[in-house]
A and B are shown apart, each in its own frame.
Chain A
Amino acid sequence: MAATNGSGGAQIVACDAGGTMTDVIVVDRDGSFAIGKAATTPGDQAAGFCEALDEALGTPGGSPASLAAIEACVYSGTSMLNALLTGTGRRVGVITRRGEEDIFLHQRSRQSWAGYGHADVLHHVAHHRPDPLVPRRLVKGVEGRIDMFGVEAIPLYEHDVRTAVAELLDDGVEAIAVCLMYSYMNPSHEQRVAEIAAEVIAEAGDPPVTLHLSHELAPIIREHGRLNTVVLHAAAAEPSRAQLLRIEAALHGRDYPHPLQVLLSHGGVADIRYQRLHESTFSGPIGGLLGARYLSSVTGVDNWVCADMGGTSFDVGLIMAGEPMIDREVTVTRRIFNLPTLVMDTVGAGMGMFVSVDPLTGRITLGPESAGADPGPVSYGRGNDTPTVMDCALICGLLNPRNYLGGKVVLDVDRALKALREQCADRLRIDAHDLAEGVLELVASSMREHIRTVLSTRGFSAADYDLLAYGGAGPLLMAAYTSGLPFRGVVTVPWAAGFSAFGAAAVDLSHRYQKSTGIIVPDGADDGWKAAMGTMVNAGWDELEARASEDLRAEGLSWDDATVVPIAYVRYGGQLEDLEVASPVRRIDSAADMDALTDAFEDLYRRIYAQVATHRQAGFQIFDLGLTVTIPKVKPHLVRRDVEGPAPPPEAVLGTRDVYHGGRRQPATIYDMDALRPGNRISGIAVVEAPATTMFVPPDHHVRVDEWSMLWLTAGDQT
């Protein structure tokens, strides 16, 4: 489904392969783009990718177009996560320190309610530890201890290691993950385990068993998340890389001349040969944040609330001063991983959510289950008979039954109406149309509350932000869920349905490195102490730089082209949370350099909290160091178009349709989103249709198309 077919020729391809659908966006040299969608093909992701790509290129089923002129191709997807969850990854054995063998059973208490809704978090009886990532039998403890300062407290018992490796080999493991305490302070024990393991593997006749060490993959404090991360890598990264290489081979077969790149969950992009490929695991939802960051750089709007509405969830993230927020721990599928990830807060509110009546209270209940893409909503007619939120939107006339997903699916309104009436409306003794409208308002209000929570729990106000609505379903409810929130502006884009893939296309090539340490600078520390601590910081940064330059070399990139930013995670003494501070100095060579770093922290602290919250009397602590390296990559060229008059061209007006709104049927004007011109203004009540998305404009609301083709929604008199 071509959004706007330009003439500049395709330049960038980006892909967002979700659990059910694969979206591909093709960006042309003149800034126009086209979106293709196909069912995800988990067995061989290249198939779904190519189908969606051909649709975006406008050659479905025809002779495949050459990709020789494409300059970059970025992939993001959930295949690795699925491999881990469905147990189709490799068989992993674990070597940890003696006494810690039950770590996958003990876990962290947070994991017993991770991923739960609010009610279940509060109810202890519902808490439950997820199944161990690795069965207890495949976890071996070895004696030995490095203390928190990196000093050897107990030597490594090498015979323990030999026994452990031999037992794991007997058990048929395909990979061995090694995670010892404080290995990020001193990796010598992990390195020695690797040497011994290599010997034992060789003695056993060299079975194809790989070794993965925590200090190389995730040298970050907290064993449990670190171990989860190493296991994720060991189990899923290589099989996933094989899938990616297959996709790359398919592209090369069509003359694509560059390596395939993969989106990383902290917003970077790397060659698929990148060592720590597991960093791409959770990149699915973050594409939109990167797209918004790119819009910031183009439009100058620098604070965004990014709101992504999909089939099962509503994800909200923030862009502040042009940059997204990042967390060093991420909770996915009820497990905690030490993986730097852009922050998105998720709530279960999607178009696929089931609508039902609570038998006890007689109230409407939404979710928590969703219909998914197959069988989908009742109106798909594919076997699901429980009404969904999407069915309610259809019943209200907001969706066009003959122009849904570009006409790929013809929707059965009567079937949806019958299901909603019989299962819900009749039980409540109200009209099914009123109920459908009420359901949409209920969903919108939970989305509104979610946005309010995301902002207010961080002490922010909507008045400082513009809201960007995307995801195929985002524009449909954007007027409703932003109602009453004092945003500076509310906007969506014609390519809302492919916005996450667009974001993946819009990032630089960048890597992020992380390492834990233990730096303490008490209040009133003398210059000698500060300089000594600076030496420790420098040692950490040196190590990360060495790793970074090695990675770039392996990808065939030049260190000289890279922008390098050293990072320190600074907190006041005794605090539990820290802030990411981009260091103002490349190295800390004097007490003054250390002061510059802690001053930068306090500046940031003051901006986020308040002057009165600063507390330098407590001293400063740095437990994590980081480093980012960035190399510019070709990005979509968003084109500023000439602003025309307010009246939409005749071809943009498709006619009228009755919609049910405000408790009655009202005729709404239907517009073709792709035919609207910059400068056009339309007023509600209206429905703006695009092949993969639909925007609803209620009465007293107005839409203005700006010079970037972005659609700004306003309420009331101001237009």
Chain B
Amino acid sequence: MSVSKDDLRDLYAGRLGWDKTKAIISGPKDDDRFETAVEVLQEQVSWPERILMPLREHLYVVESGGERVVKCDCGHEFGDWRRNWKLSALIIARDDEASLEEIYPGLRRPDPALCEVREFICPGCGSLLDVESVPVGCPIVFDALPDLDTFYAEWLGRPLQGVRRCEDLTHEITSRWGQAEL
């Protein structure tokens, strides 16, 4: 079963009926699903940079000026994809009763001694990009670091230009924390 481009477009837009959606969930992926999906997404963004991989709603890893950066569909860039983009986002930390109460009123409110909720906002467009609910003091979660070179070379069979080592470079940001400029 090959999923058509129109169906993928409807899927992203939340318009695809459940029968077709279920068939996509339960079925094997077509050989060209990734390419078709990227084509659909590329048509929908307003900027010209090539999408290498969709990360989540609004966010993509794109090729920009010879670098691979995380980019919001509004155009805002978060920097190298190996650094956790969340650290470059605006953050609402709900870590006390009052702020938690705003979204979890009454008995639904968790105990701020145990848990905090962090909302990550795009500085370019104000979209809510992600929410994490974690124990107090937990480092900001790096959800996924895709190994782009391996994926393109070994799965898609068309290697990307200029191999980058796939390693977590978030420490490049955190190591500057506590230094004078902050």
Specify whether A and B are partners.
yes
Q: Give the total number of A-B pairs whose CB atoms are below 8 A apart.
A: 23
Contacting A at CB under 8 A, from B8-30, are 18, 22, 25-26, 28-30
Q: Quick check: B28 and A358 within 8 Å, CB to CB?
A: yes
Q: Is B31 part of the contact surface with A, judged by Cβ < 8 Å?
A: yes
Chain A residues near B30 (CB, 8 Å)? 359
Q: Is A125 part of the contact surface with B, judged by Cβ < 8 Å?
A: yes
Q: Quick check: B28 and A359 within 8 Å, CB to CB?
A: yes
Q: Quick check: A128 and B18 within 8 Å, CB to CB?
A: yes
CA A605 to CA B26, docked complex, whole Å? 40
Chain A residues near B29 (CB, 8 Å)? 359-360
CA A360 to CA B28, docked complex, whole Å? 7
Chain A residues packing against B (C-beta within 8 Å): 117, 119-120, 123, 125-126, 128, 358-361, 365, 368
Closest to B29 in A: A360
Q: Quick check: B28 and A126 within 8 Å, CB to CB?
A: no
CA A126 to CA B21, docked complex, whole Å? 9
Q: Quick check: A126 and B22 within 8 Å, CB to CB?
A: yes
Q: Quick check: B26 and A128 within 8 Å, CB to CB?
A: no
Q: Quick check: A128 and B28 within 8 Å, CB to CB?
A: no
Besides A126-B26, A360-B31, A361-B28, 5 other A-B contacts (C-beta < 8 A): A120-B25, A120-B26, A126-B22, A126-B25, A358-B28
Closest to A131 in B: B18
Chain A residues near B22 (CB, 8 Å)? 126, 128
Chain B residues near A359 (CB, 8 Å)? 28-31
Nearest chain B CB to A384 CB, angstrom units: 15
CA A120 to CA B31, docked complex, whole Å? 22
CA A696 to CA B28, docked complex, whole Å? 33
Chain A residues near B18 (CB, 8 Å)? 128
Nearest chain A CB to B113 CB, angstrom units: 30
Nearest chain A CB to B156 CB, angstrom units: 13
Nearest chain B CB to A537 CB, angstrom units: 42
Closest to B18 in A: A128
Query: Interface readout for B21-47 with A: 1 if CB under 8 Å, 0 if not?
Result: 010011011110000000000000000
Closest 6 CB pairs of A and B: A358-B28, A126-B25, A359-B31, A360-B28, A120-B26, A360-B29
Q: Quick check: A365 and B28 within 8 Å, CB to CB?
A: yes
Complex partner residue of B26 from A119, A358, A360, CB under 8 angstroms: A119
Q: Quick check: B31 and A123 within 8 Å, CB to CB?
A: no
Q: Quick check: A125 and B28 within 8 Å, CB to CB?
A: no
Chain B residues near A361 (CB, 8 Å)? 28
CA A348 to CA B28, docked complex, whole Å? 17
Nearest chain B CB to A150 CB, angstrom units: 33
Q: List 22 A-B contacts (CB under 8 A).
A: A117-B26, A119-B26, A120-B25, A120-B26, A123-B25, A123-B26, A125-B25, A126-B22, A126-B25, A126-B26, A128-B22, A358-B28, A359-B28, A359-B29, A359-B30, A359-B31, A360-B28, A360-B29, A360-B31, A361-B28, A365-B28, A368-B26
CA A128 to CA B28, docked complex, whole Å? 19
CA A360 to CA B18, docked complex, whole Å? 23
CA A368 to CA B23, docked complex, whole Å? 10
Chain B residues near A117 (CB, 8 Å)? 26
Taking each of A120, A359, A360, A368, which has the highest tally of chain B beta carbons within 10 Å of its own beta carbon? A359
Nearest chain B CB to A653 CB, angstrom units: 46
CA A120 to CA B25, docked complex, whole Å? 9
Nearest chain B CB to A385 CB, angstrom units: 14
CA A128 to CA B31, docked complex, whole Å? 27
Closest to B25 in A: A126
Chain A residues near B26 (CB, 8 Å)? 117, 119-120, 123, 126, 368
Chain A residues near B31 (CB, 8 Å)? 359-360
Closest to A368 in B: B26
Chain A residues near B28 (CB, 8 Å)? 358-361, 365
CA A368 to CA B26, docked complex, whole Å? 10
Closest to B21 in A: A128
Nearest chain A CB to B23 CB, angstrom units: 9
Nearest chain B CB to A117 CB, angstrom units: 8
CA A117 to CA B18, docked complex, whole Å? 17
CA A123 to CA B31, docked complex, whole Å? 22
Chain B residues near A123 (CB, 8 Å)? 25-26
Chain B residues near A126 (CB, 8 Å)? 22, 25-26
Chain B residues near A368 (CB, 8 Å)? 26
Chain B residues near A365 (CB, 8 Å)? 28
Nearest chain B CB to A46 CB, angstrom units: 33
Nearest chain B CB to A358 CB, angstrom units: 5
Nearest chain B CB to A334 CB, angstrom units: 11
Nearest chain A CB to B139 CB, angstrom units: 27
Query: Interface readout for B49-63 with A: 1 if CB under 8 Å, 0 if not?
Result: 000000000000000
Nearest chain A CB to B121 CB, angstrom units: 26
Chain A residues near B25 (CB, 8 Å)? 120, 123, 125-126
